[in-house]
Amino acid sequence: MSYWVLKQLLLGPLLRLLGRPKVEGLQHIPRTGPVIIAANHLAAIDSLYLALVLPRRITFIAKQEYFTQPGPRGRIIRWVMTATGQVAVDRSGGSASTAALDAAVRILESGGAWGIHPEGTRSPDGRVYRGRTGAIRVAMRTGAPLVPVALSGTDRINPRGRRFWRPGRVHIVFGHARTFPPLDHTEVRTATDTLMTDLATRSGRRYVDRYAAKFR
């Protein structure tokens, strides 16, 4: 219930007013059953706009820090994340990465929609960076279709380093759903690179073949 209250009554109207989202390709999202929503990552509010425009509930695996921030702002963020059913994971690597993918599998096996930003972190400059392979590996493991989603404009509404949102225009393009047969390690890497270059093309942005986390 809290998810739909936030979407329809609390955050949704504000997001629509600020971003005036233009959406294309929404017909590619299955009405029911498991689906992976894989999008480029420009701003902290990307997940909010995806939840806003999708006709069904979407669950993201969120970093642990969103649930542990102190102060009034931290409590609000924690409430929003909990109310919308987001799953907290430790992103420090190793077994934590496996736990995150296992959580994604459980979401999909229950017939849910799992949202992921394969870049793993926000783009530092608006370009699309190399993706982690988790989305493709989970798609192979579950057989769930993967829908590529290109986001534009969210970084203007929620610029890095700014505390307050500002008006802008959000553009969201959903591509055709894809399924992936069993692939070896090299093929998984290639499929991930193809996904990210497709997102760059759809969003009209340059692709950078290195991880955003390593960019300085």
How far, in Å, CA of 40 to CA of 196, rounded? 8
The long-range contacts involving 188-191, CB below 8 angstroms and separated by at least 24 positions, are: 188/133, 188/136, 188/137, 188/140, 189/133, 191/136
Whole-number pLDDT of residue 75: 78
2's CB contacts (< 8 A; 6+ apart) are 83, 84
Whole-number pLDDT of residue 4: 84
Whole-number pLDDT of residue 70: 81
- Unique residue bearing structure tokens 């992921």: 116
Whole-number pLDDT of residue 99: 79
3-state secondary structure 130-182: CCCCHHHHHHHHHCCCEEEEEEECHHHHCCCCCCCCCCCCCEEEECCCECCCC
Whole-number pLDDT of residue 216: 52
Give the relative orientation of helices 95-109 and 134-142 as an angle to the nearest 10 degrees: 40
Q: How many structural domains does the chain have?
A: 1
Give the global pTM. Answer: 0.90
pLDDT, one tens digit for every residue, the chain (216 residues): 678 888 888 889 999 999 999 999 999 999 999 999 999 999 989 999 999 999 999 999 877 777 777 888 777 777 777 777 677 776 555 555 787 889 899 999 999 999 999 998 999 999 999 999 999 999 999 999 999 999 999 999 999 888 789 999 999 999 999 999 999 999 999 999 999 999 999 999 999 999 997 655
Whole-number pLDDT of residue 215: 52
For the domain that residue 34 is a member of, what is the CATH number? 3.40.1130.10
Is 144:138 a contact under the CB 8 Å cutoff? Answer: yes
Whole-number pLDDT of residue 86: 78
Domain of 8, in residue numbers: 2-214
Whole-number pLDDT of residue 97: 72
Is 150:173 a contact under the CB 8 Å cutoff? Answer: yes
- Unique residue bearing structure tokens 């399924």: 179
Given phi > 0 = left and psi -120 to 50 = alpha, else beta, which region is 54? beta
